[in-house]
Every structure is written in C-alpha cells, then in structure tokens.
Structure 1
Amino acid sequence: MEFRPRNYSAEEQSHAVTRVRADDHPLSAAPSSALHLQVAVVDHGNSDFFDPLRSSDDDGAVSRDVLLEVDNVSSVGLSSEASMQNSAKEWTSFNRILMQKFPVAKMISVSSMSSAIIKGGKMYEKASTSTHLEELEDPQKVAEDGAKLITRNEYVSRLHELKDEIIRAWRASDRVTTLKLSIKVARLLMDTTVLQFYPTLFVLATDIMDTLGDMVWERIKWKAEFAEDGARIYSLPENFQASDIYSDAKETCYNWFCKIGAIRELLPRIYLELAILPCWRFLTDRPEESFQHMVMMTRGLADPLASAYCRLYMAHCIEKFPTRDKGYLVKCVNDIKNLLSWVVSVKETANGNIIDNKRLLVSLMEPTIEFITKCIFKDVTQKQVGNILVELELGRNEVELFGNFPCVSIVLHHLLKELPIEVVSSSAVEILHVIECSNDYSFDQCLNYRLLGFRLCESKSQTDILNTVADKIIQVVTQYDSLDEYLKVVDAFLDIIFQNQMDNHLSTVLEGISKRACNKGPTEDELGSLQSILVKLLSYYDGLQEILALNHFLEILDVMYGSSRSIVNMHILNMATRTACIDGPTTIQLLFEISQALHDDMDFLNVKDDDNQPAHLISRFVCMVDYGAEIERHLTFLVECRGAFGSITGLKETLIHSSNCLAIKSLKNGSKHLGFVKSCIAFCEVTLPSISVPIRQLNLYLETAEVALLAGLVSHSDGLINSALSCLQGLDLMDGSRMPIDVDGIVSSIRKLCGLLVMVPGNPEQGATYFAKNILSLIDLQSWMKPKVRTKIFCAIVSLTATLSQNKLPYHGKVLGNDHLFFGDSSYSNELTLLAKYVVQNLVDAIQQEPSSAARGSLALEACNCIATSFIASEEISPICTKLLETAKSCLSHNDRYLQSTVKFMDRHWPSSSIAAAV
C-alpha cells in the first residue's frame, strides 16, 4: 500500500477557473448587461407553480386591479342589518368593560326601592325627604338607616332569576306577569345607594330590558305576518312601512305603549318605553319623532347618576334606528353636561368627603359620555360636525368653531377623542383655548392637552399651526410643578417637536424633565411616561453620539429604575449595536454600565423580545467593541465582561471569539506581541470549560488551537486538541437524555480537526499519528457512532494520513511541519502506512454494516473515491476499490450519476486496473 504523491500547487492551477474581466457588474442595472441577465426557465407545463419574480407586468396590473376592487368593496357602507349587528357587538363589549371598570365589594346595601331583590324579611324604609346630596355626604349612614345588606353574588343571581321568570311567563303567554316583573327590574335602576355597583346593575337590568323589547318586537311582527291559526299571510320586508302592518298587530303594539305609559314611576316608564322603542316602526313611518319625547322625559330625572345612565340606554336604543339625525344624542350630551356642571360646582375648599364622593360620581358618569359621544360622531359628514359643535355650544356657527367657550372638562375630553382628525388639525389653536377655559376637577386638564397632542400626530398639520400649538404647550407645561403632569403632556407632543425639528423646544423639555425628576425621583406612574419619552428620543436619532450630546439626557437616565430603566437600556444598546463598531473609552464604559444594569435585572434578562432580547444585545455589544491599537485594554475589557456577565451562556462564546480575533490581530503586527497572544490563549483556556454545550465547546477548542498553531505555541495547541478530544468522549452522556446529538455537526468538527492536524507537528515520544489514533479510539466507545458516521470519520483519517505522507504539505502553521521534521524518515512513513491500512480495512467493514441500501451504496462510492485519490493503484488497493464499486452497483441504480462519475474517474486515473471492466 503506497500513498499517491501530490503536487498541490500544480493541482490548484490546473483546476482553477480561468478568470475573464467583465465589462459590467453582474448586478448592475445597466442596459448593456440587461440582456445577459435574462434566464430562460421552462415550466414544463406545470401550471400549479407561480413564480412572482417571473410574473409579467400584465399580471401585476391585474393584481393591482383586483386590489383596487377589494378596496372599493370594503369602502362601501354596511347594510342596515350589518350595521345593527356591529352596534350590538359594540354594546356587548362596552357592557363587559363597564362591569370590569367598577368592581364592588362582596357585600352591598339594598334600599327599599330594591324590594324585588330580597324575598321576605323586614325592609327599612328610607325617609322620603332624603336627597341624593345626603347620600353623597354620608352614604354609609343612609345605607344603615334605609337599607339592608346582601352579597353581590346574591344580587346578581336574583337578577338572573328574574330574567328567567320573565321569559317563562312570556312563553306561557302571561303578558301581565311579564310586564310586572319587568317593571320591578326597571325600578331597581332607581336605587343609587351603592354608587360603584350601579354600572353592574345597569348592565344586568338593561339586558333584561333588551330581552323584553326583543320579545315584544317578535310578537308584534308575528301578528303582522301570521294569522291566529299560524298560517303566514304576509312577509314583512326589511324596510317595511307602517301601512304594511295589519290593524290587529297595530292594536297590540299600541296597547303595549299604553300599558307602559301608565306606569307611575318615571324612571321605569322611560326604560320600558325605550326597550320597545323600535316597535314605533309598526305604528308610524317616522318613528324617530318619538325621540324628542323620550329626551324631554329624561329631563325629569333628578338623580345625576340614574339620569346619565338612562340617557346611555337611550343612545343604545336610538342606535337601532337607521337615522342620521344626531340632534337627539347631542341633547343628551348637553343635558349630562348641565348635570355635571351642578356636580362640579362644589368648590375644592368644601368638605373633603363631598369632594371625594363627587369625584366618584363623575367617574361613574364618564362611560355614559364616552358611549354617547362615539354614537354622535359615527359616520358623520363634515357639515354635520359643524352643526354638532354649534349645538354643543362650542362654536358661534359652522365657520367659527371652538371659540372661547368653556366646557366641562370630561365632556370636552371625549368630544376631542371622537372628533374627525381634519377638524382637530385645522382647529388645533382654537381647541387649545377651549381646553384652557375648561378647567375643573371632573377631568385633569393636562390629559386634555395630552389627548390633543396625540390626535395631532394622527395626520400632517400645517407647520404654522403646529408651531403655534407647540409654543403654547411649552408655556403651559412650564407652569406645572408636578412631574407627572409635565411628562404626560410632553410625551404627547414630543413627536411633533421631532418631526418639525423644534430643537429649542426639545432642549427646554429635557431641562424641565431634569429639573423636576432630579429634585424628587419619579414614581412608578411617572416612570411609564418617562420611558415613553426616552424611547421616542432614541428612535428619532440615528446615532448614539447624538443622544449623548444632548444636555440632561444622562441625568434623566440616572433617575430611572426598574423595568422602565431596563427597557430604555435595551433601546440604547439596540441603537449602539446598529453601527459598524463601538469605539471610544467613554462610550464603551457607558454601554458597559448599561449592560451591567440590564444583566443585573434578572427578571428582565429572562424575557425575550423577538431578536432583541437583552442577552443577545449584550453579546452583540461585546462583540462590536473596538479599542483600536489598544489591544491590551481590549483584552482587559473581555476579562471584565466575563466577570460581569457570567450568567449569559452565549456571551462566553462571544468572549472566546473576540479573544481569538485579538490574538490574530496581534500576530499581523509581528512576533513582538507573542506575549499578548499567550495571554489571549490563556484567557480562552480558562473560559472554555464553562461552555455548557459540548459541540460548541469542541468547535471553540479547535478554533483556539488553530490560533495557537498560527502563533507557534505548540504546547498550547496540543493541550487544546486533547481537550477537544475529551469533549468528544463526553458527548455520549447526552445521548437519549437531555438533548439530541447533532451527529452531522460532530462529523464536520472531526473533519475540521483532521484538517488542523495537518499543521500539528508530530510528537517524537507519542508518535506522529497520536491524535489520529485517539480519534479512532473514540469510534468504538461512542454509542452514536453508527456505520455512516464511522465511514465518514475513517475517510477523513485516510485523507489525513495521505496528506501527511507528502514531501510538501498543502499548508503550514508558524512551526515546522511534519514534511520538514520527518523528511526521509522511513519509520514515519511506515507509521502512516500501518495506520492507513488499519483504517481502510475498518472502513470497508463499516460500509457493509450500514442497514440502508441506498446509504450503503453512497458510502461505498465515497470510500472508493477517497481511497483512489489517496493511494497508488496496486494489487492490495485495487480489490478493495473493486469490492466497493460492486457494493455501490448492487445498491444503486445503474443510471446513478455518482456511480457513473466514479467509474469514469477510475477509468481515467487507474487505466491499468480492471475495476471499470468489472463494474
């Protein structure tokens, strides 16, 4: 068995592709190269495959037409039925949020007006002279004097029972009982003893009202379409007229309105009439005329809370009509505004208990304003908006909108939230004046300024308007002593300041934040706004140096803490790592401290945020640091990072890569830095054992060993290669337990190791093939070494021995290679030959053990090519190659390209042999 001599330089030249200078860059869009870039692709009639890159312009045009068609369809208004379904979904969602917004205690008091809830037991009558103001002044006393306690769950369960009783009575055709029980439920809405419970009571009670309304509607509709015997006599269209309704159905409908109109209490009468309000369609073609009557009736309700929620239910019922007249809802808002004007009329200097209860009352009334306002501005035209604002007393006419007219702050807030953005943009200055005039405790004035800022960001406004608004806002916030109010307003207008490059305002804002935040640290609530401001600031600028140049930025950053600080730190790291490198001692130190703070927040460190999780950003920061020529300082930095970020597993790999890069950088500057290279190698040797993933640890050992060889540090490289082999020995511990083994990755690493061993000088004491024999010893010890894996490793060792046998190696390290150390040494050649002979025999055996026929054929061809390129044809080698080709032929198709190319190769390079003929 004799190795085939190789001339690597000559082979490289003979196999190199001839280079021809191109006239144009292959990716250039120049016309001269356009024709050369076209590639003809044949689909072979496959119509199932669509390649978007080869679609013609016509196809693109068709696609655009389809998209336009879809857009046109989506822009068409919804049908009345679909619109009603959407309104119903919005109402359901609103009710769910309403109940969640005002949770109540387990025990609630029930007044005498809620007698339907308590079965039996003595009731304590509340004096008729008691007013709602008394309830606000001392609700506990009123509860003790005129109410008894019941659990919340009992109250809710009783309401569900009443609903079931109403439905059962209806199905039994007992309309009288149905109406009586419904009146009892409606009376419950007169009880505002426990303010926080009223929204829940409203949701449950109006659900029963809606159920009654639906049953009455279906009953009258049935009488209009069917005879007494059940025969259909008419089918009502969706937009039916009152003239389509038979007199019997009209009489039934009129009878319901009469019975409800006879209810003595005003509030139950209003609710029940609202419940069957859609039934006016059976009596008149203009059912909306009844709206005015309902609006006037609600003005007779003295209790502010009950009155506001009654108007809320009215808005819900009016939404069931396809009318575009918003005047009735506007009157509801004006009426609620008048109620609130009375509620907020109590001065701040009054009794604190009254103020607190009135604030609670205002917060309970807020959802009614929110919902009704949404209904008002839903699908309105520009002209309607002007009319609405005039009716709301916020403008003299449709042109002069938003004059100096005060408005209840909370009403103004929800109006501003629902106004079309075109109106907000064009009237921003006027809206500022209205906000300035509307300052009461119903709603924080700063939140209206804040809302205006966010609304202005929704569209592009005129520059002069934005400048005026920004100037005014800066004047306003300068007067704020509270950091919370200051931050809330500034946060909303920061985008406007950025987009219009108002650098002078930005400086003022940062100075104001620093002044207020540094005196007394921010609270948890203030941190959210502060975080939002700094994140916007970081998003606006391109580079970290621009941020660091801003006055007060670092001062503001220092006062932050907790998760908000961690989020800002992560954005800073993200910005810093978007550049090519990170240099400058000051910048590096700042980012190191930021990374350390981020690392110390362990709860935050374990939370992933797509690809920008903290651990990833810290590792990327460390990788991008560049101290330039100060390589010693850079290595010190890596040592500090290892101590500071020890819990980040992936960072250790980054540190080793960076240390190896520093060593290579030092080698390029000459051998005078050999001591520094040794320090880098030592750093890696200390860090490597802490890598937890064996396959990564193996590759890093090999990487570091290569660096050591390039530096001529043979003892270090030998130790690192031995450590790499130890990693291979430990891999079996992972089999079938904690994680699957990446067998292909291991084979690739072993091949890399064999390539590295070409440069490693043989040890006179242990032999030139010491490391190769250690690799072979692992094959029989590891359970994951299947025949396929063993075959590939055997082939790698055969190639290694063939390479080491050459008089001139293909590449060298900074030390003498075996071609110089053992040149002409017969014992060295014999050692390589004996090892190769042993490996070849085991290689053939391993192939025969492969259970898969196709895999066995491919492995046989791979081994045949390896042996043929490594050895000279001889009586010892030829039978082995013949056997391998026969194995491949028996396992693979005769038309297999790999088989055919191997036969041609053997014909060309081993013409004297009988291998090809045998195949």
Structure 2
Amino acid sequence: MEFRPRNYIAEKEAHALPRVRADDHPLSAPSSLTHRQVEVVDHGDMGYLDPLRRSDNNAAVSIEDLEVIESNSVVGVSGEATMLNPSKEWVSFKRSLMQRFPVSKTVLTSSISDVMVKGRKTYDKSSTNMHLEELEDPEKFAEEGGKVITGQEYVSRLHELKVEINHAWHADDRVTSLKLSIKVAKLLMDTSILQCYPTLFAHATDIMDMLGDMVWERIKLKAELAEDGTKFCWLPENFVASDICSNAKETCNNWFSKIGAIRELLPRIYLELALLPLRYLRDRPLDCLQRLVMMTRGLADPLASAYCRLYMAHCIRKLHSHDIGCLLTCVNDFKILLMRVISTTETTHGNLTGQKRLLISLMEPTIDYIMKCIFKNVSERQVGSVLMELGLGSNQVELRGKFPCVAIVLHHLLKQIPSQVVISSAMEIVHLIESSNDDSFDQCLNYRLLGFRLCERRSEMETVNAVVDKVIQVITHYEGLDEYLKVVDAYVDILLQNHMDDHLNSILEGILSRACSQGIAEDELATLQSILVKFLSYYEDLEDIIAMTPFLKILDLMYGSSQSIVNMHILDMGIRNGYIRDPTTIQFLFEISQALHDDENFVNVKDDSNQPARLISSFVSLVDYGSEMESHLTFLVECRAAFGSIHWLKETLVRSSNCLAIKALKDGNRHISFIKSCIAFSEVTLPSISAQTKQLNLYLETAEVALFGGLVSHSDGLIDSAINSLQILEVMDGPRTPVDADGVLSSIQKLFSLLVMVPGNPEHGITYYPKNLGVACQFSVMDDTKNEDKEKVLGNGLLFFGHPSYLHELALMCKFVLQNLVDTIQQEPSMAARGIMALEACNCIASSFIPSQEISSICSNLIETGKSCMSTSHPYLQSTIKFMDHLVHSSVAV
C-alpha cells in the first residue's frame, strides 16, 4: 500500500477554468454590458423577477407601482386608524390611569353605597390595624367603622353592575337599566378614598358609554322604522333634526326628562353627557355643552369636578367636534379649583400636605388629557387665541409672561403648544415659570420641560444665550442635587451643541459639589447617568473626557447599574477608533473595565448577550504597546487576573499572546525567551476555557505558533492537550447537531494538517498522534511554507527519508485507517447516505494510492456497496465505475 505522488501545482492548473479580464463590472448598468453577456431567454414565467436583469424602464415602473401600492395601503390603514384613534386613545388612557393609581387592597364599606356591597362578603379589620388607625385618626376611625371588602371584590362588583345593566336592557327592562346606571353615577360623588377614584371613574364611565350607545341604537331604530316595524328610511351620515320622526324625538325627550329628574347634580351631568350624541332635538347639540360646563361649577369636590370635566372632554371628542371653547373654560375653572386646593390651610395633625399632594397628582391626568384635546386640531396661528383665552397672551402673537399661572397647568400647556411658539416666546415662558411658583408642581420640572422643548428645533443663538443664562442663574440657587440634575439634563444638549464650555464646566462643578456634600440617592442616578452619557456621545476623543477632572470625580461617586452603563459607554468610546496605544488611556480603560467587571449585576449575567464582557474583550484585543512587547504580555497577565470570570476574554488573551509571539518571530532578533513566555502564558490559560470546541482550536493555534518558532517540545504537549480535548468533547457533547459536527470536523482536519508537519515522536513512533485520535479521516495537506521554518523544524519526510521502518509504519497506519473507514460506511443506517459515502471513499482512495491488488479490492467492495444502495443508472455511480476502469487500464499500460 503506497501513496500516489502528486504534483499539486500541475493539478491546480489542469482543473482551473480559463480566465478572461472583463471590460465592465458584471453588476454594472445594462447599457455598458459587452457582447460577452449571457443571453437570458424569457419564457414568460413571471413568478420570479431577477432585479439584476430587468431594464431601467421596467425598474422605474416597478418602483412607481410599488409606491402606489404602498401609498394606498398606508392611506387605508391611516384612515382606519384615524377613525378608531379617539376610542382607542380613551381606552389606553383609562388603562394607564388605573395602572398609575391602582385600587387599594381593601375598601371601607362606609365609603361606598349599598349597591357595591349587595351580596358581597365583608371582613372585619384585624385588631392591630384597627388600633393603629384609631391612634392615627380617632375621628375618622369612629366614622368609618371596621368593615371592609377587598379591592378585587370592589372591581368585580363594578363589572357585575355593567353586566346587570346590559342584561336588563336586552330584557326590555330599561327602567332597571337606568336606575342602576344612576346608582353607578352616584358612586362618583364619593371621593373619601382618593386612591380608588381613578379605577371607579374608569369602570363607571365605561358603563355610562355603554348606556349611551344602547339609547342611541334604540332611538336610531325608532327614527328608521315605521309603527309596524318596517324600515321606511335610512338616516344620512350628517342628518339634521328635521330628518327625525316625532316618535323618535318623543323618546329622546323622555330620556332627557328622566335624567333631568335626578336630584343629585353629578350623576345628572354624567348621564346627560353620556346621551350627548343624541342629536335629534336640535341641529347644534354642542349648544348644551356650555350649560353643562356651567353646571360643573356647582360641584364642590375638586376631584369629582376634575374627573367630570375629563369625561366631558371625552364626550366632545366622540362628537368629532373641533369646538374647544368649552374645554378652554374647563381649564380656566381648573385654575380656580387648584388655587383653592393649594391655599387650603394645614390641619393640626399635619396630614393634609400629603393628602394635598395626592389630590393634585390625581387631578393631573385630567389636565393633561384636556390639554391634548385642546391642541389636537389647533393650528399654529390659532395658538395665540388659545393663549388669550387662557389669560396668558396679551395679543394674537405675544405670550404674556408677567402674570402667574398655576404651575401644573403651565406644565401641561407647555407640553402641547407647538415648538415654534415655544422657541419664539422662550424668555416669556421663563418669566411665566419664574412667577408660577406654587405647590401644585415642582418648578424645576417646568424649567426641565422648557429645555427639552427647545431641543426640538434649532433656536437663534441670541435666544439660546438669554434662556441658558437665566436658567443657570436660577439653578445655581438650588441646594438639592435632584432638582439641579433634572434641569441640567434638559439643557446639556443645548450647551454641547452651542459649545458653551464655560457653562459646561460650571454645571459639572455644581454637580460635583452637591454630590460630595449630599451623596447621590438612587433616584438621582438615572438622571446623572443621562447627563454623563450625553457628554460621551458628543465628544469623539476619549482624551477630552479624561481631561475633565470633575467628570471623572463624579463617575467615581456613582454606583450600581448607572455607573456600569456610563462605564460601558466609555469603553465603547475607547474602542471606537481602533487600536489603543496611549499608556494613560490604556490604564484608564483598564480601571473602567475593573469597575464594570466588579458590578454584581454584571457578574450575574451568564448569557451570550453579555455586552459588558464583550466590550472588555474588545478593549483587551485592541491594546497595542508597540515595540514594548514585554509590557503587553504583562498587561495580558493582569487582565487574566482581573477578569477571570469572562469566558470570551480568555480566548482573546490566548489569541493576543499568540500574536505577540508571531510579532516577536517577525522581528530581526528572535526573542526566543519571550516567545517561550508567550507560549507558556497560553498553555496556562487554555485549560480554563470552558467552550470545548474553542479550546480545541486554540490548542491547535498555539501548537502551530510553537512549531513556527521551533519549540517542538511545546508543540508536542499542546497537540497532546488538543487530542485530549477532542476526546472529552466527544464524551461530553454526545450526539451533536449537524452544525456542531461540521465545526468539529473542521478542527479535526486542521489537526491532521498540522500533524503533517510535526516531527514524529522518537519514543512512540511517527504515527503516535494519529493512533491516539482513533478517527478515520483523510489527511489534508497544508502548504508547508505556512507551517514550517525549515531552518528550525524538519518534517518526517526528511527526518526518516528512505528508512524502511518509516514506510512500514505509514503502511500499517493507512491500512488501519482504511479498514475503519470501510467499517464506518457499512454501519451507516441510511442507504442513500451509505451509497454516497461509499462512492466518495472509493474516489478518494483511488486518487490517493498507487493501484494495487489490495487497493483494487477495497475500491471494488465500496462500489458494490454503492450499487446495493442506489440505482445502477445513478450518475455518480457510473462516473465512479468509469474512473476506476480508467485507473486500471492506466496501471496495466504502465
């Protein structure tokens, strides 16, 4: 059994296709194609259109058609979305309202009507809770008593009431439906448990809307049906009062008469608003809205009054009306309500301040929603009129900043007005904020909002300077870090974009001085993180950040995930421009990496998407000490000690160490001792790599580097470790997926390619490594100029040249491999795969060995296996038989 000598250069030239230089790029425009382009015949198959073969005209038409289709689809979707938007937005608003103010775990029975506790089980409070409540407020405890229901029971009862009303309506018991609806509306009069009110409002208004829809459908049916039940007309989309028959008008009058008989003001307003879409008695149904607005002024409770106006805004939107006069009146009334709440004197117990804040926070969503409704369809030209109605504009174009406005109303107004108006009236807004300093809202949040609004458009430098100077002057007097950070966060983008370096240094010093004296609270970290990240995103060079002493001191004072996020941005900034060579920068990033690695949240992340670990690994791989290779190796040792828990980093360390060894080899001075140090570093690091496939490949890479440097003993030990790693991999992984199998096969092929150049072991023989592997695999030969330094390492072909024992050992090894190969093929369970494998092995063996009786016998058996597994007319089988016949005739001729 003897290998066939091969001339690889001749084989490459024989199998290479003829090459002709192209005059044009094959993907260039069709007009520049030469006559050598392949003709494509169009058989009329429109199922596939190759974009590289169609003409420019066709492409243009296709793009236009596509744009038409897309525009049509967008119009359709947006139109539908526009129609559904008010109702969807209302549902979303109510959901967010209940999430923001969840119902309490228990609800006192004395605070709710009998309709809520009917059929419900009540619970006695524990003696401990009763005693604590009695100590806190004896009078309140005496009034409320000790009976409660759970919050879940409270919500469930509201759902049940809705079902009962709906069931009674469809059973033609409309009187019961109305009575229950009135009872639900009366629930909105009770605000004794403030936290529960938003949930009550959401469910109660849901019932009001349902009742209004059912009444609408009933009266609409009366308007379209005759007395005998036959439909005699269809109401047009925009019908008027004259289109309605007297029977329907009478029914409508009856409903409003019943509602008008309700004694309590609040439920009467709610039910009339629910029936507002009944546009049958007058052509201008919105005329009654002003009356309802005036009626709401009779509601003494500020919370109930605010939410009643909120429902009014919702009902106006349902009518698709653009009339905002009533809503502006509501906002002006809000100012009076809020001023009353703010001016309320505190009780002797000191609890009113907390209650007052809760009350204002509960009212805030109502102001926000009404402001959105006002500015939903207001053009920029109409903003002046709106501001005049709100008492904030001296004329149609100017905003008056010398009169105070309630801070919370000003905040939500500032959120909604167009950005151009904000920019043009920025200083007037600053004066408004300055004069609107009340307890309804934190003044710093209005300064903060103004900053964010100014960032929406480019402002004139004069305006920017004036606003920034005034705001910086204001926040200088803030003693608390939280308020200071909130305002600075909004203006730091403006300062960076306009290169206001003096102000930038000033705010960093301000943050540092407050942080050092007060410390940084957890709720302040997020804002501080936002400010520092903005600095990092603006500057391009890390050296500019390192030069900012206050910045680094502030970073040292931070902690937790916010500090880690800033550190990640710094690392990302450091590796953004490629190799890192400055020693100061390297040390700074190393310390940043240490802080990031020591974060507990970072340590607990074990998945492959661990971005901090990847950033640290990228940093280590980009460090370059230039000719100071010893310093670089020392750096790698420090990284291994500091970042031992990062799996990706160990792979990076080994690769970096191997690169250092290659760099030393390329140097004129061989640096053998340094190369040995690099190889030793890799040898020590490799066993700790947990990914077996990566470990195997790195063992082979390091062995190749050692062999390249003439360190044969090191390469022997590394190859032994690689073989052991491969054996462990087979035991641990068990049945692998096809992708993993391909990776392992590639590693095995690389191992055998390396073994071609490794000198045989004098103690165990030249086939020691292949026998240890115990796998059947064809040797793939690498270009020896890439693997061998001929002055240092001699291959087996020269070491054992012509020695009979060398040839005999190779022959025995080949026989062993071929036998294992044939046995493995015969054990393949799939007949189709077995046939293909047999033919592939036959072709490989016939091409690699000189024909002999033994080789011919093996190939014949493989061909017979192929015949038993596939059709005799199979092309691969036929080509293999012809190839074997050709080899037999060639050997006979020779």
Counterpart residue type for residue 364 of structure 2? E
Partner of 1:259: 258
Question: Which of 365, 368, 372 does residue 367 from structure 1 map onto?
Answer: 365
Counterpart residue type for residue 487 of structure 2? V
Distance 1:223 1:813, change over 3 A: farther
Partner of 1:912: 890
* SS at structure 1 position matched to 2:277: helix
Tell me if the contact between 1:113 and 1:190 (Cα under 8 Å) persists in the aligned partners.
Answer: no
Distance 1:912 1:860, change over 3 A: same
Tell me if the contact between 1:107 and 1:149 (Cα under 8 Å) persists in the aligned partners.
Answer: no
Question: Which of 646, 649, 659 does residue 647 from structure 2 map onto?
Answer: 649
* SS at structure 2 position matched to 1:387: helix
* Structure 2 CA distance for aligned equivalents of residues 57 and 523 of structure 1: 63
- Is the aligned partner of 1:822 residue 2:820? no
- Is the aligned partner of 1:555 residue 2:553? yes
Post-superposition shift, 1:607?
Answer: 4.4
Partner of 1:471: 469
Tell me if the contact between 2:108 and 2:144 (Cα under 8 Å) persists in the aligned partners.
Answer: no
Tell me if the contact between 2:111 and 2:192 (Cα under 8 Å) persists in the aligned partners.
Answer: no
Deviations 1:345-381 (A, max 9, x none): 3589998433332222211111110111111111222
Distance 1:50 1:32, change over 3 A: closer
Tell me if the contact between 1:734 and 1:740 (Cα under 8 Å) persists in the aligned partners.
Answer: no
* Structure 2 CA distance for aligned equivalents of residues 465 and 895 of structure 1: 87
Deviations 1:431-456 (A, max 9, x none): 22222221111111111121122223
- Is the aligned partner of 1:546 residue 2:544? yes
Post-superposition shift, 1:45?
Answer: 4.9
Tell me if the contact between 1:656 and 1:687 (Cα under 8 Å) persists in the aligned partners.
Answer: yes
* Structure 1 CA distance for aligned equivalents of residues 81 and 800 of structure 2: 91
Deviations 1:800-857 (A, max 9, x none): 9xx99xxxx9985832222332223232223223333443454445444444454445
Counting only pairs closer than 5 Å after superposition, residues 77-96 of structure 1 correspond to structure 2 as: 85-96=84-95
Partner of 1:429: 427
Tell me if the contact between 2:625 and 2:631 (Cα under 8 Å) persists in the aligned partners.
Answer: yes
Distance 1:61 1:535, change over 3 A: farther
* SS at structure 2 position matched to 1:151: strand
Deviations 1:612-658 (A, max 9, x none): 61222222222222122222222222222222222222222222111
Partner of 1:380: 378
* Structure 1 CA distance for aligned equivalents of residues 63 and 864 of structure 2: 57
Counterpart residue type for residue 666 of structure 1? A
Counterpart residue type for residue 863 of structure 1? A
Counting only pairs closer than 5 Å after superposition, residues 341-740 of structure 1 correspond to structure 2 as: 341-346=339-344, 352-607=350-605, 613-670=611-668, 672-736=670-734
Distance 1:262 1:140, change over 3 A: farther
Counterpart residue type for residue 619 of structure 2? F
* Structure 1 CA distance for aligned equivalents of residues 382 and 587 of structure 2: 60
Partner of 2:197: 198
Deviations 1:188-237 (A, max 9, x none): 22222222222222223222322322222222222212244433233222
Partner of 1:166: 165
* Structure 2 CA distance for aligned equivalents of residues 701 and 694 of structure 1: 10
Tell me if the contact between 1:882 and 1:915 (Cα under 8 Å) persists in the aligned partners.
Answer: no
* Structure 1 CA distance for aligned equivalents of residues 665 and 119 of structure 2: 97
Partner of 1:210: 209
Post-superposition shift, 1:157?
Answer: 4.2
Post-superposition shift, 1:609?
Answer: 9.7
Post-superposition shift, 1:547?
Answer: 2.4
Distance 1:453 1:610, change over 3 A: farther
Distance 1:314 1:612, change over 3 A: same
* Structure 1 CA distance for aligned equivalents of residues 517 and 221 of structure 2: 73
Distance 1:582 1:895, change over 3 A: farther
* SS at structure 1 position matched to 2:148: strand
Counterpart residue type for residue 191 of structure 1? D
Post-superposition shift, 1:391?
Answer: 0.6
Post-superposition shift, 1:39?
Answer: 7.3
* Structure 2 CA distance for aligned equivalents of residues 674 and 18 of structure 1: 46
Distance 1:902 1:436, change over 3 A: farther
Deviates more, 1:693-702 or 1:674-683: 693-702
* Structure 2 CA distance for aligned equivalents of residues 249 and 261 of structure 1: 18
TM-score under structure 1 normalisation? Answer: 0.86
* SS at structure 2 position matched to 1:621: helix
CA RMSD of aligned residues (A): 3.8
* Structure 2 CA distance for aligned equivalents of residues 112 and 906 of structure 1: 99
Distance 1:425 1:34, change over 3 A: farther
Post-superposition shift, 1:423?
Answer: 2.5
Post-superposition shift, 1:525?
Answer: 0.8
Tell me if the contact between 1:111 and 1:191 (Cα under 8 Å) persists in the aligned partners.
Answer: no
Post-superposition shift, 1:83?
Answer: 5.2
* Structure 1 CA distance for aligned equivalents of residues 296 and 506 of structure 2: 50
Structure 1 unaligned blocks of 5 or more: 122-137, 780-789
Calculate percent identity across the aligned residue pairs: 64
Structure 2 unaligned blocks of 5 or more: 121-135
Tell me if the contact between 1:346 and 1:355 (Cα under 8 Å) persists in the aligned partners.
Answer: no
Deviates more, 1:453-462 or 1:292-301: 453-462
Deviates more, 1:90-99 or 1:436-445: 90-99
* Structure 1 CA distance for aligned equivalents of residues 437 and 634 of structure 2: 60
Partner of 1:859: 837
Distance 1:341 1:53, change over 3 A: farther
Question: Which of 785, 792, 796 does residue 779 from structure 2 map onto?
Answer: 796
* SS at structure 2 position matched to 1:767: coil
Tell me if the contact between 1:113 and 1:191 (Cα under 8 Å) persists in the aligned partners.
Answer: yes
Distance 1:15 1:454, change over 3 A: same
Tell me if the contact between 2:636 and 2:653 (Cα under 8 Å) persists in the aligned partners.
Answer: yes
Counting only pairs closer than 5 Å after superposition, residues 212-291 of structure 1 correspond to structure 2 as: 212-279=211-278, 281-291=279-289
Distance 1:140 1:375, change over 3 A: farther
* SS at structure 2 position matched to 1:277: coil
Deviations 1:678-725 (A, max 9, x none): 122222222222222332222221111111111111111111111222
* Structure 2 CA distance for aligned equivalents of residues 27 and 406 of structure 1: 72
**How many residue pairs get matched?**
876
* SS at structure 2 position matched to 1:272: helix
Distance 1:818 1:884, change over 3 A: same
Partner of 2:744: 746
Deviations 1:583-626 (A, max 9, x none): 22222222222222222224334548996612222222222221
* SS at structure 1 position matched to 2:514: helix
Deviations 1:280-322 (A, max 9, x none): x011111011111111111122221121111111111111212
TM-score under structure 2 normalisation? Answer: 0.88
Distance 1:642 1:915, change over 3 A: farther
Counterpart residue type for residue 398 of structure 1? Q
Post-superposition shift, 1:466?
Answer: 3.3
Tell me if the contact between 1:710 and 1:813 (Cα under 8 Å) persists in the aligned partners.
Answer: no
Post-superposition shift, 1:328?
Answer: 0.7
Counterpart residue type for residue 576 of structure 1? G
* SS at structure 2 position matched to 1:382: coil
Tell me if the contact between 1:906 and 1:915 (Cα under 8 Å) persists in the aligned partners.
Answer: no
* Structure 1 CA distance for aligned equivalents of residues 481 and 111 of structure 2: 48
Counterpart residue type for residue 395 of structure 1? G
Post-superposition shift, 1:160?
Answer: 3.9
Distance 1:39 1:654, change over 3 A: farther
Tell me if the contact between 1:677 and 1:711 (Cα under 8 Å) persists in the aligned partners.
Answer: yes
- Is the aligned partner of 1:317 residue 2:315? yes
Post-superposition shift, 1:249?
Answer: 1.3
Distance 1:83 1:663, change over 3 A: closer
Partner of 2:812: 834
